[in-house]
Amino acid sequence: MVANNDYGTRMDDIIIESLKPQVEEIKQKLTSGGSLSQGDIITLTLYAQGNHINHLDMRMDAIEESFRKLQMDFAELRADFEKFRADIYGKMSELHGKMAEFQGNFTKMTAIISSVCAAAIAIVGVITKILS
């Protein structure tokens, strides 16, 4: 399989494909006990490097796809975090309001209790005078 992406061009594919017949001839020469010429070695080297580059291109495509997925996942995570943060701020604001309301009610209740205690003390004073 030959990569055809941003890194590998159609020309790369054409060069690899054009070398295949020569590579087959060289394989036949080797299986029949022949020796390699310098041209054969260069052809095999070019073919091997071309295949290697194409495999690296395919690997790069996979890495880029992984990276794009990570970017999308990160964007989703960021959106989820922003929603969570907004929810927390909303809940904290709501809690702050309820605490202020509680504090107001507590202050009112303290005033009522103070008034009731003052009235009770006054009543005890009156009862004490009546009984004495």
Q: Is residue 60 part of a domain?
A: yes
Given this model, what pLDDT does residue 45 score? 93
pLDDT confidence of 38, banded at 50, 70, 90? Answer: very high
pLDDT confidence of 10, banded at 50, 70, 90? Answer: low
Identity (one letter) of the amino acid at 8? Answer: G
Q: Is residue 4 part of a domain?
A: no
What is the domain range of residue 67? 10-131
Tens digits of per-residue pLDDT, 84-123?
Answer: 999 999 999 999 999 999 999 999 999 999 999 999 999 9
Give the count of domains, the chain: 1
The terminus-to-terminus CA distance of the chain in angstroms comes to 114
Tell me what the mean pLDDT of segment 9-36 comes to: 87
Q: Is residue 5 part of a domain?
A: no
**Which pair of structure tokens corresponds to residue 30?**
């080797």
Tell me what the mean pLDDT of segment 60-68 comes to: 95
| Rounded Cα distance, 54 and 64, in Å | 15
Question: CA nearest 48: which of 9, 10, 22?
Answer: 22
Does 30 have pLDDT greater than 50?
yes
The chain-wide mean pLDDT, for the chain, equals 90
Q: Is residue 2 part of a domain?
A: no
- The pTM assigned to this predicted structure is 0.51
| Rounded Cα distance, 102 and 95, in Å | 10
Residue 87, CB-side half-sphere exposure with 13 Å CA sphere: 6
Given this model, what pLDDT does residue 4 score? 47
Q: Is residue 117 part of a domain?
A: yes
